[in-house]
Amino acid sequence: MNKELIIRSSENSVDFALLKDGKLIELHKEKEEKNNSFLVGDIFVAKIRKPVAGLNAAFVNVGFEKDAFLHYHDLGPNLASYLKFIKLVSAGKIKDFSLKNFKFESEIDKDGSITDILSSNQSVLVQVVKEPISTKGPRISSELSFAGRFLVLVPFSDRVSVSQKIEDKAEKDRLKKLVLAIKPKGFGVIVRTVAEGKNAAELEKDLQNLNDRWIAMCKKLVTAHHPSKVLGELSKASSILRDVFNDTFTGIQVDEEELFNQTKEYLKEIDPSKQNMVKFYQSKDTPLFEKYNIERQIKTSFGKTVSMSKGAYLIIEHTEALHVIDVNSGNRSNKANNQEDTALEVNMIAAAEIARQLRLRDMGGIIVVDFIDMQNPENRQVLYNFLKEEMEVKISFEGDTVILAEAPTFVVCEITYAEPGIKGDTATNTLKPATLDSGATVSVPLFCNEGDLVKVDTRTASYVERVKK
- What are the residues facing 369 on neighbouring strands? 325
pLDDT score, position 398: 38
pLDDT-based confidence at residue 407 (cuts at 50, 70, 90)? very low
Mean pLDDT of the chain: 82
258 versus 270: which is more confidently predicted? 258
217 versus 458: which is more confidently predicted? 217
Judge whether residue 447 has pLDDT over 80. Answer: yes
Judge whether residue 35 has pLDDT over 60. Answer: no
41 versus 177: which is more confidently predicted? 177
Judge whether residue 235 has pLDDT over 80. Answer: no
pLDDT score, position 243: 67
pLDDT-based confidence at residue 395 (cuts at 50, 70, 90)? very low
Judge whether residue 331 has pLDDT over 90. Answer: no
What's the one-letter identity of residue 277?
Answer: M
Q: CATH for 40-231, among 2.40.160.20, 2.60.120.380, 2.40.50.140, 3.30.70.360?
A: 2.40.50.140
The average pLDDT across 30-51 equals: 76
The answer to whether the beta carbons of residues 159 and 399 sit under 8 Å apart is yes
399-467, what's its fold?
Answer: OB fold (Dihydrolipoamide Acetyltransferase, E2P) (2.40.50)
Alpha helices (H) along 222-334 = 236-244, 257-270, 288-291, 294-301
Judge whether residue 322 has pLDDT over 80. Answer: yes
Judge whether residue 129 has pLDDT over 70. Answer: yes
267-292: per-residue pLDDT in tens? 887 777 888 889 999 888 899 999 99
46-102: per-residue pLDDT in tens? 999 989 988 899 999 998 888 999 999 889 889 999 899 988 988 888 888 989 889
pLDDT score, position 332: 59
pLDDT score, position 118: 92
**One fold for both 40-231 and 399-467?**
yes
pLDDT score, position 32: 57
261's CB contacts (< 8 A; 6+ apart) are none
Least confident segment among 101-105, 222-226, 299-303, 376-380: 299-303
The average pLDDT across 26-39 equals: 66
pLDDT-based confidence at residue 337 (cuts at 50, 70, 90)? low
Of 122, 176, 116, 184, nearest to 156 by C-alpha is 184
Report percent pLDDT > 70 for the chain. Answer: 86
The average pLDDT across 337-358 equals: 86
Per-domain residue ranges of the chain: 3-33+250-289, 40-231, 302-390, 399-467
pLDDT score, position 244: 67
- What are the residues facing 4 on neighbouring strands? 19, 251
In order, the DSSP letters of 193-222 are GGGTT--HHHHHHHHHHHHHHHHHHHHHHT
The answer to whether the beta carbons of residues 39 and 117 sit under 8 Å apart is no
- Pairs from 438-444 (Cβ < 8 Å, separation ≥ 24): 438/411, 438/413, 439/400, 440/397, 440/400, 440/402, 440/413, 441/400, 442/400, 443/73, 443/110, 443/111, 444/415, 444/418
CA distance 463 to 223: 38
Question: What's the number of CA atoms in the CB half-sphere (13 Å) around residue 37?
Answer: 12
Q: Is the pTM of this model over 0.95?
A: no
